[in-house]
Amino acid sequence: MITWKRLLPERIAGRFALLLTISLVSANLLALAVLSYERLRLDRAALIAREQERIVSLIPALEAAFPQVRPSLANSASTRSSEVTVGPTPLVKRQGDTRQALDLADALTEALGGRDVRTAVRVQRDDAKGGKRMAVAASVHLVVTEGETTQWLNIRSRGRRPSPPWIEEGAFLLILGLSLAAILAVGLIFVRRLTDPLTELAKAARAAGRGDRTVLVQTEGPREIQDAATAFNDMQARIARFDAERMRMLAAVGHDLRTPITSLRIRAEMLEPDEGEPMISTLEEMTVMADELVAYARGTGESEALRDVDIHEVVERACAERGVPFKCGDPATVRGRPVALGRAFGNLLDNALKYGNTARVMMTLDADAAVVEIDDDGPGISREKRAEVFNPFVRGDQSRNPDTGGAGLGLAIVRDVIAAHGGSVTLDNLPEAGLRATVRLPIRR
Ligand SMILES: Nc1ncnc2c1ncn2[C@@H]1O[C@H](COP(=O)(O)OP(=O)(O)O)[C@@H](O)[C@H]1O
Ligand SMILES: [Mg+2]
């Protein structure tokens, strides 16, 4: 089972070509076998008919001739494959019982009147050359004048060796080759028309998996392909609506929280400072959280249009706004949303400045991606915590105080934005101290 599977081509086109080839070759071989069997049958029937005709025309001549000339007459009637003799005994001792022998005997008896006729038809092995040949033997008792000794006409013929079916190898292979080429060409064009939309669909599904709701596929081609494409496009539209709805709700909640927080704050300010201050600081924390919630809801920039963005420029601007040194190679173009990307890099820089005090940024270009590294000299993040901090509302213990305020949504936004651009973001602790955030974004060449 496993070995069979391994032999099977991986792609539809390969499998289809294999299937076509196997069926065409076997159909042609079958036709060849049927044809050569039919030819063999016709050859044999022709041999029997020829012998029958010869005997029927020889008999009157032999009977009319003088007995002395009969042997030479018979001799001159002989050919390479057929031996004719006249003698006192019949060559065929007993009438053969094959259907062909009986048919020949009947035909001869009918044509030659009451003469004694014996025939034998056999297929015999040709020892000298190999293969099988048909042998026809017939003996006819001559009607001669009285007083003469009994005389028999004996004929022994051998059919041609059946030609092997591959005798016209060249022609057969040419026809097979041409028809195979024609069918494969048409078949592969057809398969491409099926697989191209499939490849496109797979690509679109991958992009959709990264969060890109703008990719749609063309609804063309055969019905099933159209169905799949329509289903995909519908799914994209539904998820986009769902995403937008969810984000609108988050933004609304974040926004609506501000009013009650503000009115609580006004009341807290009227209290005695030792009672009011802790309340105010908690309320400030809540304000930050509400603001970040709104930022998060808008952050992934679903509403922003996709366009060609110079990623170098985006990073440079984010660095310049925060006074962070930026070391860079070359400009590179990314298909994406500049505001969302700017926010993502801004969040990483803010974190580096907040938790690590200093930030350094370096950008390099890979074969197919821009790699941006943001280093700081802070405490880094422990291995267990590193995967978690990307989840919304996850914050480190040291981040409890409102000075480093945030709601734990910064890295969640980074992850969403970068993933929607087909990229990845990872965190690693640097060997000496500090954290390195590495962002990879696929670029357009
Ligand atoms: N450069 C950094 N160095 C150390 N810890 C970090 C760094 N960046 C993020 N963190 C940790 O990850 C947590 C989550 O970060 P983030 O999602 O940006 O939320 P916030 O900054 O609002 O706390 C932070 O609270 C902090 O504990
Ligand atoms: Mg942050």
Q: How far apart are CA 346 and CA 405, in angstroms?
A: 15
Summarised one tens digit per residue, pLDDT across range 349-363 is: 999 999 988 899 999
- Supply φ then ψ for residue 374, to 5 degrees: -115, 110
Select the more confidently predicted residue: 428 or 215: 428
pLDDT at position 211 over 80: no
| Banded model confidence at residue 301, pLDDT cuts 50, 70, 90 | low
Summarised one tens digit per residue, pLDDT across range 1-14 is: 567 778 888 888 89
pTM summary value: 0.59
| Banded model confidence at residue 405, pLDDT cuts 50, 70, 90 | low
CA of 206 to the centre of ligand 2 (A): 29
- Bridge-based pairing of strands 82-87 and 307-310 is unpaired
Nearest CA to ligand 1 atom 24: 395
pLDDT at position 77 over 80: yes
In CATH terms, 199-299 corresponds, of 1.10.8.50, 3.30.750.24, 3.30.43.10, 1.10.287.130, to 1.10.287.130
CA of 264 to the centre of ligand 2 (A): 26
Specify the DSSP element, H or E, that contains 415.
helix 410-420
Task: Look at the domain 305-442 and name its fold.
Answer: Heat Shock Protein 90 (3.30.565)
Q: Which ligand has its closest atom nearest to the C-alpha of 401?
A: 1
The domain ranges of the chain are 8-163, 199-299, 305-442
Ligand 1 pocket, mutate which of 349, 409, 411 (most atoms under 8 A from CB): 411
Q: Which atom of ligand 1 is nearest to the CA of 407?
A: 22
Query: What contacts 143, CB < 8 A, 6 or more positions away?
Result: 63, 115
Q: Which ligand has its closest atom nearest to the C-alpha of 415?
A: 1
Helices and strands, counts by H and E, the chain: 11, 11
Do 199-299 and 305-442 come out as alike in CATH topology?
no
| Banded model confidence at residue 303, pLDDT cuts 50, 70, 90 | low
As for ligand 1, residues whose beta carbon falls within 6 Å of it are 347, 351-352, 355-356, 376, 378-381, 389, 394-396, 399, 406-412, 435
Nearest CA to ligand 1 atom 4: 380
Nearest CA to ligand 1 atom 7: 351
Other Cβ atoms less than 10 A from the Cβ of 120: the count is: 22
Neighbours of ion ligand 2 (CB under 5 A): 351, 406, 410
